[in-house]
Amino acid sequence: MERMTSVRLGAARIWRNPPVRRLAWILAGIVLLSAVLAWLYVERSADRLHNEWLSRQTAIIGRLSADDPAKADEWARLLANPDTLTSADREKGRQLTEPYGLTPALNAGLEPIVSGYRDRSLAALFAGIVLLAVLLAVLLVREYRRQLADIHRLALTLEDTVKHNRPMAFRLYGEGELGILASGVQELSIRLRETIGQLHADKEFLKDTIADISHQLKTPLSSLIIYTDLLLEGNVDEERTREFLGTCRRELDRMEWLTLTLLKLARLEADAMLLQIRPASIPYTVERALNAVRRLAEDRQVSIVTVPPSPEAAELTEVPHDSRWLAEAIANLLKNAVEHSPSGGIVRAGWEKTPIFLRFYIEDDGPGIAEAELPRIFRKFYRGSSGGSGVGLGLPLAKTIAERHGGMLSAASRSEGGSRFVLTLPLHPLPAPEGNAAYNTVSEDTAEL
């Protein structure tokens, strides 16, 4: 849709409106018709006035011929050759006609020829004005009724969209301001339907998320209640007491991790988390992620092998990113790989460079990901059929962090078995839109989640 940069309408902008052009042609046609009719009337009136004047002069000559044929002949000759008359002749004639009241002050209504011509002209002028006014009114009503009909149908369609979330049944395409308005209304309708659809989807997602959170918290809460009741009864020996307290501690840790991860996800998705995007060491970030999952890998007897990068990738020591958050994303991918690897399995991690991207890849020897599950593995609380001890928040968090860096996260099953996750980051991130908190230069390393 054309962007309106000024409320002032110039002649060219006004002329491009089809109604304005049609109205201009209508007015031009009416003016031309008026000119033709006026010319025809003047020609006809002139002929009629000439005939009446000639008839009157002929009657006067006839009357004179009865008394003085010579004078009558002289009158006729002078009428035929008026150029022979002199100023002296006109002055002498004025002196002869003044006693009879034939002067310029004579009322034109007393002169039959003049009064008749005047009456006919006034009647013709009035009839012409009425006719043209009626014609102009009919054309204008027809023209503006068409425009108002289009606006009315557009308004009804927009009302159906707003009240009933229906697609626009009537669409108006054209030039000019009405076309721009119709385009804007149609775009508004589309965005409104998309917004309503997104709101419904968000509502369903919120409902499912609350249900998932309730389900995830229900089990540890139930365990805490049971063990607390047993301890309150006082019938538990010291060894069992320590065991129960240890179980309570693990359940509390699990609840804390779940709460903090959900809070991180919520703040990242709402652009409320400030990331410090600046050149930082890639080996340091990878080592930071490895340290976070080494204990888990040892407990599960899974080896994490760092694949040496290519010489070209090894030369790339710094890439714009937030080391803390990217390390957390890589750590979540490593944790997911460790949890789905069998005892004695190997998790391979490394990175490679392309002309415009840096790719982190993590491979495991687990059961892989079913084709039907690939579109859903990045949903919150989704757990694949291969199981795992997680609650389904690590991958969504990693994906969100990657996207906040201007990158992406993808997953696939390896042909030789296991899964492969690839986190892609741009070597030169695009400038962030103004006000985007994801690219704020203020670090949040010390923020408490």
Write down the pLDDT at residue 409: 93
Q: How far, in Å, CA of 332 to CA of 345, rounded?
A: 18
Joined together, the tokens standing for residue 157 give 């369609």
pLDDT tops 60 at residue 192: yes
Phi/psi of residue 175, each to 5°? Answer: -90, 175
Minimum mean pLDDT range among 14-28, 216-230, 270-284, 382-396: 382-396
Which structure tokens are listed for 234? 């006082």
Tens digits of residue pLDDT in 386-402: 655 566 788 888 998 99
The C-alpha atoms of residue 449 and residue 139 are separated, in whole angstroms, by 71
Q: Is the pLDDT of residue 16 over 70?
A: no
What is the pLDDT at residue 349? 92
Tell me the whole-structure pTM to 2 decimals.
0.54
pLDDT one-digit tens code per residue, 69-127: 887 787 788 777 777 778 887 788 777 777 766 666 655 554 666 677 777 788 888 88
Residue 173 has pLDDT above 80, yes or no: no
> Any idea where the domains of the chain sit in the sequence?
12-164, 274-426
Q: What is the mean pLDDT of residues 303-327?
A: 85
Per-residue model confidence (pLDDT) at position 103: 65
Q: Which CATH superfamily is domain 274-426 in?
A: Histidine kinase-like ATPase, C-terminal domain (3.30.565.10)
For residues 218-232, average pLDDT: 83
